[in-house]
Amino acid sequence: MNKSAVLPAVDQVMAELGERARRAARLLAQAPAERKNAALMAGAAALRRSGGKIAEANAADVAAGTAKGLTAALLDRLTLDDKRIEAMAKGLEEIAGLPDPVGQEMARWQRPNGLDIARVRVPIGVIGIIYESRPNVTADAGALCLKSGNAAILRGGSESFRSSKAILACLQEGLAEAGLPEDCIQMVPTSDRAAVGAMLKMSGVIDVIVPRGGRSLIERVIAESRIPLFQHLEGICHTYVDGAADLVMARKVLLNAKMRRTGVCGATETLLVDAKVAKTHLPVLVKDLLDAGCAVRGDAATQAVDSRVSPASEEDWSTEYLDAIISAKVVDGVEGAIDHIERFGSHHTESIITDDPSAAAAFFAGVDSAIVLHNASTQFADGGEFGMGAEIGISTGKLHARGPVGVEQLTSFKYVVRGSGQVRP
């Protein structure tokens, strides 16, 4: 039997999915906060209730992944235990507790002719999320889209397909209980990779794509997408220790920036040290890192301070290790640091450690990154730490959303103009 007679073509499947999403988005845009929150709370309850089913689906994914030879790191991301299921449920409840961005007046003013103009937040519409095999993203991303009034089309990694499906069922139970269309959160119903290609061409149906994953996924999405992206590129984050840095503070902040968690996008990947303090500060900073179990790859000056430092290659400067590895270099003051960051960085998060306010000001002005910090750890690059609640990622693009992408960043706005018969002269 011809396969295409059984399975409708991927493009057809995606077109129908898209049509349902648009219909749902139009209803959802006008749903009151209480109803969306009720759906999230009911979804959380369903996740807790369905722990057994989710675990079963996940066990099948993990078994298939093991047979396929997935790395231990990938299998760890894929695996759901009770704790992780509970964390997903809690995540939904936290998102339910956030203020509803939809309908907020961002600004309102009167014109001399009496027109009253308000800028009011509205949902974007339909958001496509493309991610790898972290099944918890299904819950987080679906919930953030729902809270911000957007219909979601989720496309997770094929290795987590069964787990994601079980999680989605809970979210959709929550939607149904709250009287919202289940199509508010949909999942691409096939693990066929061609579905991603089809999704990236659905302009006019999907308003924005959020890719979440490693470099190869992001690069594919950038190359193929006909839809605007909230790009979460790599976090090649820098900590620059200035000539006027307090060494005690620099040691504490740097160690945290690199080693608190090495796998997060806000982890520092490159240490830059001002030549002025290369003799005093650099050896101490490097020793701290090495003693904490961090491999150091340095330029000649850094290699000279400790025999355990290996040489950094040109590639190291633009590598996001996400591991206990750091590249280190001596630069010529703030300007040298800015030049290095602009050349090799990914416009994510960079910190300057200094007691000199003018050095901090120059760094703030010259570094074109989503987040610039003074005397604080790059690991603060996180929507929760910013007080913005849960986030769908850190955008390294400059349009619409930059930095943490929370529920506000998942909205657009319209101008609402109230008149009393005004005509334009």
Residue with tokens 């991301």: 77
- Cβ atoms of 361 and 352 within 8 Å: the answer is no
Q: Least Å distance between CB 72 and a second copy?
A: 26
Contact pick of 1, 6, 67, 423 for a second copy (by CB under 8 A): 423
Distance, in Å, from the CA atom of 255 to the CA atom of 45, rounded to the nearest integer, reads: 40
- Cβ atoms of 228 and 347 within 8 Å: the answer is no
**According to the binding rule CB under 8 A, does residue 253 interact with a second copy?**
yes
263-265-271 Cα angle (round to 5): 90
Listed ranges 38-46, 137-145, 277-285, 360-368: which one lies at the site for a second copy (CB under 8 A): 360-368
Considering the complex, state which of residue 76 and residue 342 has its C-beta at the smaller distance from a second copy: 342
**According to the binding rule CB under 8 A, does residue 402 interact with a second copy?**
yes
**According to the binding rule CB under 8 A, does residue 379 interact with a second copy?**
yes
Q: Least Å distance between CB 3 and a second copy?
A: 32
Residue with tokens 């809690």: 90
Contact pick of 61, 173, 207, 274 for a second copy (by CB under 8 A): 207
Contact pick of 330, 403, 405, 407 for a second copy (by CB under 8 A): 403
Distance, in Å, from the CA atom of 327 to the CA atom of 249, rounded to the nearest integer, reads: 20
Considering the complex, state which of residue 220 and residue 364 has its C-beta at the smaller distance from a second copy: 364
Q: Are strands 185-187 and 268-274 parallel, antiparallel or unpaired?
A: unpaired
Distance, in Å, from the CA atom of 310 to the CA atom of 326, rounded to the nearest integer, reads: 10
112-114-119 Cα angle (round to 5): 95
Listed ranges 41-49, 177-185, 319-327, 412-420: which one lies at the site for a second copy (CB under 8 A): 412-420
Cα 166 to its chain centre, rounded Å, is 23
Contact pick of 53, 108, 308, 398 for a second copy (by CB under 8 A): 398
Site for a second copy in 21-50 (CB under 8 A): 26, 29-30
Contact pick of 14, 96, 370, 392 for a second copy (by CB under 8 A): 370
Q: Are strands 394-395 and 403-404 parallel, antiparallel or unpaired?
A: antiparallel
**According to the binding rule CB under 8 A, does residue 377 interact with a second copy?**
yes
Listed ranges 60-68, 80-88, 141-149, 372-380: which one lies at the site for a second copy (CB under 8 A): 372-380
Closest listed residue to residue 159, CA positions, set 191, 203, 117, 188: 191
Distance, in Å, from the CA atom of 135 to the CA atom of 115, rounded to the nearest integer, reads: 49
Query: What Å distances lie between residue 28 and 32, 92, 337, CA to CA?
Result: 8, 17, 47
Give 280's DSSP letter: T
Contact pick of 8, 97, 311, 419 for a second copy (by CB under 8 A): 419
Q: Least Å distance between CB 268 and a second copy?
A: 12
Site for a second copy in 224-243 (CB under 8 A): 228
Listed ranges 139-147, 245-253, 291-299, 323-331: which one lies at the site for a second copy (CB under 8 A): 245-253
Site for a second copy in 99-138 (CB under 8 A): 109, 111, 115, 117, 122, 124-125
H/E segment holding residue 98: none
**According to the binding rule CB under 8 A, does residue 60 interact with a second copy?**
no
- Cβ atoms of 353 and 245 within 8 Å: the answer is yes
Q: Least Å distance between CB 376 and a second copy?
A: 3
Site for a second copy in 255-284 (CB under 8 A): 255-257, 260
Closest listed residue to residue 169, CA positions, set 49, 25, 80, 32: 49
Contact pick of 70, 80, 208, 296 for a second copy (by CB under 8 A): 208
User: Which segments of 178-246 does DSSP mark as H helices, in order?
Assistant: 194-199, 215-224
Size of the site for a second copy (CB under 8 A): 61
Q: Least Å distance between CB 416 and a second copy?
A: 5
**According to the binding rule CB under 8 A, does residue 343 interact with a second copy?**
no
Distance, in Å, from the CA atom of 414 to the CA atom of 189, rounded to the nearest integer, reads: 33
Q: Least Å distance between CB 252 and a second copy?
A: 6
H/E segment holding residue 27: helix 10-28
Q: Least Å distance between CB 172 and a second copy?
A: 25
- Which token pair is 126? 């339909």
Contacting positions for a second copy (CB under 8 A):
26, 29-30, 109, 111, 115, 117, 122, 124-125, 203, 207-208, 222, 228, 246, 249, 252-253, 255-257, 260, 342, 360, 364-366, 368-377, 379-380, 385-387, 398-400, 402-403, 412-424
